[in-house]
C-alpha cells in the first residue's frame, strides 16, 4: 500500500468487514479463536525475539514505573506478556492493569498471573476505543502489537490521550516494514512462511493470513507520528527494533 493511501486508512479492516463495528467483531473473533495457542505461536514465529521487544519497551518507561503511586494501563494486552514486563519494572505498589476486549485472551492472562500475589497485574475486559476510566487517570498507557488491530487508529490515540494525565506518556509497540535486503527477507517470511506455520500450529487460517495484511495496512512511522501529534502528543518519536521489524512509538500528552 502506498504512503498516500496509508494516510487515508481509518483502522484495521479484516476480510469481510464493511465498517468499524464489523471490523472490531472480526478482530475479536480471530483472537478468540487462537487464544489457546497464542503464546506458543508468538514465541515460535518470532524466534523468541518478542520477549526482548517487550522487555526493552517496558524498560524505556522505568522512570514512570519506578514510582510506587504510578497507574499504568496496557491496552489490547492479549495474554498479558507486555503487562507482565511492565509489572517487573514497576514499583511494588504501582497499579498495573491489562485491558482487552477478547474474554478468551484475558482468561489466558489471568491463568498466567499467579492469582493471590499482591503485585500481580489486574485485568479488565474493555474496548480500547471506549475505556471505562475518567480523564487524566493514568501515568502511562502502552499497547504491544494490538493497536494495529483497532478499527479506528485516530480514535484510539484520542482515547489514550483522554485517560492520560497531562505530561505523562504513551508507548505503542508494533510491527513495521524494514527496508532493503532485510525488508525483502522479512516480507517473504511474513507473507509466505508465517501464515502457513501459524495455520498449521493453531489449526485456524484466518488470523495468520490477516497478520501480514494488517502490518502492510498500518501507517508508516512518519504518518503514525503525525497522527499522534494531531491527537495531542508532543515529543512523538519512533525507535526501531531489530532492523525495523518492530518499533516503539512514544509520545507525551
Domain of 151: which CATH number? Answer: 3.40.50.150
pLDDT in tens, 205-221: 777 788 888 888 999 99
Strands 234-241 and 246-252, sheet pairing:
antiparallel
pLDDT in tens, 32-82: 887 777 787 677 667 788 899 999 999 999 999 999 999 999 999 999 999
Helices (H), ranges, 140-193: 153-163, 180-188
What single-letter DSSP state applies at residue 169? E
Q: Is residue 19 part of a domain?
A: no
List the domain range (segments joined by +) for residue 114: 39-176+218-252
> What share of the chain in percent tops pLDDT 70?
95
State mean pLDDT over 149-176: 97
Residue 21: per-residue pLDDT? 87
Q: Is residue 131 part of a domain?
A: yes
pLDDT category of residue 4 using cuts at 50, 70 and 90: low
pLDDT category of residue 118 using cuts at 50, 70 and 90: low
pTM exceeds cut of 0.85: yes
Average pLDDT, the chain: 89
Say how many C-beta atoms besides its own lie within 10 A of residue 51's C-beta. 13
- In the β-sheet with 95-100, what is the strand arrangement from edge to edge? 122-125, 95-100, 71-75, 138-144, 164-175, 246-252, 234-241
The total domain count for the chain is: 1
Q: Is residue 72 part of a domain?
A: yes
Grid cell digits, residue 112: 498466567
Amino acid at each position: 500500500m502506498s504512503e498516500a493511501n496509508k494516510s487515508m486508512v481509518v483502522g484495521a479492516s479484516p476480510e469481510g468487514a464493511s465498517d468499524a463495528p464489523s471490523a472490531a467483531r472480526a478482530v475479536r473473533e480471530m483472537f478468540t479463536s487462537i487464544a489457546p495457542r497464542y503464546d506458543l505461536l508468538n514465541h515460535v514465529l518470532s524466534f523468541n525475539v518478542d520477549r526482548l521487544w517487550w522487555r526493552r519497551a517496558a524498560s524505556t518507561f522505568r522512570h514512570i514505573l519506578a514510582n510506587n503511586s504510578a497507574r499504568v494501563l496496557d491496552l489490547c494486552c492479549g495474554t498479558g506478556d507486555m503487562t507482565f514486563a511492565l509489572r517487573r519494572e514497576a514499583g511494588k505498589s504501582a497499579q498495573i492493569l491489562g485491558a482487552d476486549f477478547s474474554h478468551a485472551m484475558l482468561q489466558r492472562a489471568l491463568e498466567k498471573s499467579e492469582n493471590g500475589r499482591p503485585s500481580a497485574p489486574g485485568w479488565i475486559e474493555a474496548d480500547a476505543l471506549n475505556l471505562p476510566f475518567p480523564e487524566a487517570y493514568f501515568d502511562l498507557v502502552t499497547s504491544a502489537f494490538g493497536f494495529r488491530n483497532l478499527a479506528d487508529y485516530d480514535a484510539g490515540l484520542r482515547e489514550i490521550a483522554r485517560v492520560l494525565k497531562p505530561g505523562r506518556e504513551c508507548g505503542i509497540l508494533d510491527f513495521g516494514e524494514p527496508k532493503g535486503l532485510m525488508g525483502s527477507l522479512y516480507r517473504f517470511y511474513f507473507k509466505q512462511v508465517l501464515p502457513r506455520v501459524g495455520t498449521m500450529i493453531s489449526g485456524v487460517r484466518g488470523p495468520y493470513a490477516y497478520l501480514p495484511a494488517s502490518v502492510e495496512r498500518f501507517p508508516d512511522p512518519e504518518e503514525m507520528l503525525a497522527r499522534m501529534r494531531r491527537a495531542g502528543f508532543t515529543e512523538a518519536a519512533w525507535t526501531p527494533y531489530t532492523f525495523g521489524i518492530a518499533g516503539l512509538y512514544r509520545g507525551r500528552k
